[in-house]
Amino acid sequence: MAPVAAESHYTVLDVPFGASEKDIKAAYVALALDLHPDRQHGRPANEGESKRLDFQEVEVAYRCLSNVTRRLAYDFRSFGSSSVVPDGKEPQAHLEEILKKQQKIDLANIQNSLARIIEREKAKGGLIIKKAIYGNLRLRDEKLLAEDLGKTTIEESYLQGPLIDVTQPVQSLVEKHRIQLKGGPQSSKAELPCFYNPAPLDTLSELELYVLYEFKEQLHEVIVGDREMISCPLRAHAVSRLPGKVPRGPYSSGNVTALMELQDRARRVDGASPVQTGGNTPSLSSTSAMGVAVKAKDPSKALERAVVGYRLATFKVPYPGDATPCELATIALCTLTLALGWAQWCGRIR
Are the CB atoms for 258 and 264 separated by under 8 Å? no
- pLDDT of 147 reads 75
Query: At 274, which amino acid appears?
Result: P
The confidence score (pLDDT) of residue 317 equals 46
Alpha-carbon dihedral angle through residues 92, 97, 100, 105, given to the nearest 10 degrees: -100
Fill in the DSSP letter of residue 155: P
Q: How far is CA 191 from CA 11, 81, 97, 146, 200, in A?
A: 16, 18, 17, 35, 12
**What single string gives the DSSP state of each residue in 244-258?**
T--------THHHHH
* CA dist., res. 233 & res. 221, Å (int): 9
Check residue 169 and give its pLDDT: 96
Cβ atoms of residues 159 and 139 within 8 Å: yes
Domains and CATH numbers, the chain: 1-87 (1.10.287.110), 91-142+157-249 (no CATH), 254-272+286-313 (no CATH)
Phi/psi at 100 (nearest 5 deg)?
-60, -45
With left for phi above 0 and alpha for psi between -120 and 50, is residue 30 left, alpha or beta? alpha
What pLDDT does residue 48 have?
Answer: 54
Pairing of strands 179-181, 163-165: unpaired
The tens place of each residue's pLDDT in the chain, 350 residues long, gives: 455 555 789 998 999 998 999 999 999 998 888 776 666 555 555 555 666 667 788 888 998 999 887 888 788 778 877 777 655 555 465 677 778 888 999 999 999 999 999 999 999 999 999 999 999 999 998 888 877 787 889 999 999 999 999 999 999 999 999 999 988 887 889 889 999 888 877 777 889 999 999 999 999 999 999 999 999 999 999 999 888 889 999 999 888 888 888 778 777 877 665 544 444 433 333 444 444 444 445 555 555 665 565 555 555 544 445 566 677 788 888 888 888 888 888 776 65
Residue type, 54: D
In a 3-state reduction of DSSP, which class is residue 176?
coil
Query: In sequence order, what are the residues at sequence separation of 6 or more whose Cβ sits closer than 8 angstroms to the Cβ of residue 237?
Result: 213, 220, 221, 222
Q: Are 158 and 104 in contact (CB under 8 A)?
A: no
Q: How far is CA 250 from CA 136, 155, 272, in A?
A: 10, 8, 35
Peptide bond preceding 162: is omega within 30 degrees of 0, i.e. cis? Answer: yes
The DSSP call for residue 177 is T
Amino acid type, 181:
L
pLDDT computed for residue 165 by the predictor: 96
Half-sphere exposure of 175 (CA within 13 A, CB side): 5
Output the pLDDT for position 151.
Answer: 83
pLDDT of residue 314: 52
In whole angstroms, what separates CA 345 from the centre of its chain? 56
